[in-house]
């Protein structure tokens, strides 16, 4: 049994908390800015109604065995306020966020385990969570990675331990980079069934591939076509988190999803005009 705190209970944080609660093996607490009413997650395996307690004031927190940070990247400062109270020398921190800068966002104060998560998830207007498929997480093959995987034993979530985390992170960023088109058009995933926008998505992904390779990721030439085919075969009404934030008038993670491609491209002398334009438009 472990004491686990989840910081940031949005769509992804809710899914992780729900899967941990189904194990029945942990003492779980949800750390949020505002009080939560009933939190319900509709999963492919049934409905989870969360029973874990909710904290809204970091000053009331005590050290836990594990802290899972699932805030948006732009709210890392807020997450650190929780870490100051939730962590001691024995606490392990897992950062479940978009992008490829998990460690950089919390260095040098915190040593974290980066987690890549793949689970189409949306928050409905009534506050409930729709989890469209099984949660798959990828972590490094380290002692911390093994311990993280053990937390989810008995749940429907799958944790994969991998040796090449750089490739896994940039592969996921390739997927996320194409989502900027939905955000720019304010339309769900079905918009990429349009031929012209599909070609644009392939161009955006190709820039991500070029930069990812320069960063050491092993990305093949066909990854863009696979991503586009996957999006087109999925639910056309699906909304990614970048689009959901834009539609709701919230801050967006465009820097973590497309801005990083531009920034790292500049470092390697690789042009990224499509991602640069997308970032500029969303920032405007």
Catalytic positions, written as ranges: 172
Tell me which residue of 117, 116, 108, 131 sits closest to 15, measured CA to CA: 131
Contact 209, 244 (CB under 8 A): no
User: For the stretch 191-201, what's the b/e string if a residue is b when 16 or more beta carbons lie within 10 angstroms of its beta carbon?
Assistant: bbeeeebbebb
- Sheet strand arrangement including 129-131: 46-49, 40-43, 129-131, 121-123
Among 219, 194, 188, 202, CA closest to 275: 202
**Sheet with strand 3-7: strands edge to edge:** 54-55, 27-31, 3-7, 66-69, 92-96, 112-118, 136-140, 158-162
Burial of 221 (0-12, 13-18, 19+ CB in 10 A): exposed
Query: How far apart are the C-alpha atoms of 11 and 22, rounded to whole Å?
Result: 17
Q: Residue 72 contacts by C-beta under 8 Å, 6 or more apart in sequence?
A: 8, 10, 97, 98, 241, 245, 251, 253
Angle at 7 between CA 125 and CA 254, to 5 degrees: 65
CA distances from 276 to 57, 135, 137 (A): 38, 31, 29
């Amino acid at each position: 049994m472990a004491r686990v705190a989840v910081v940031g209970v949005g769509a992804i944080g809710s899914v992780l908390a729900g899967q941990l609660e189904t194990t029945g093996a942990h003492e779980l607490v949800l750390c949020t800015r505002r009080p939560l009413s009933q939190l319900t997650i509709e999963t492919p395996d049934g409905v989870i109604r969360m029973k874990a307690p909710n904290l809204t004031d970091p000053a009331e927190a005590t050290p836990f065995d594990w802290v899972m940070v699932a805030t948006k990247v732009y709210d890392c400062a807020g997450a650190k306020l929780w870490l100051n109270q939730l962590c001691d020398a024995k606490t392990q921190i897992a950062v479940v966020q978009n992008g490829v800068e998990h460690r950089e966002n919390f260095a040098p104060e915190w040593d974290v385990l980066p987690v890549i998560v793949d689970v189409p998830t949306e928050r409905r207007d009534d506050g409930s969570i729709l989890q469209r498929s099984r949660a798959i997480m990828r972590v490094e093959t380290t002692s911390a990675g093994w311990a993280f995987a053990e937390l989810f034993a008995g749940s429907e979530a799958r944790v994969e331990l991998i040796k090449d985390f750089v490739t896994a992170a940039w592969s996921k960023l390739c997927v996320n980079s194409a989502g900027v088109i939905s955000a720019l058009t304010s339309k769900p995933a079905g918009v990429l069934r349009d031929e012209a926008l599909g070609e644009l998505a392939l161009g955006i992904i190709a820039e991500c591939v070029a930069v990812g390779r320069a960063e050491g990721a092993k990305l093949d030439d066909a990854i863009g076509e696979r991503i586009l085919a996957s999006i087109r075969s999925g639910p056309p009404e699906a909304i990614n988190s970048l689009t959901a934030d834009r539609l709701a008038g919230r801050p967006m993670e465009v820097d973590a999803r497309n801005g990083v491609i531009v920034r790292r491209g500049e470092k390697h002398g690789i042009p990224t005009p499509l991602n640069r334009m997308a970032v500029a438009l969303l920032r405007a």
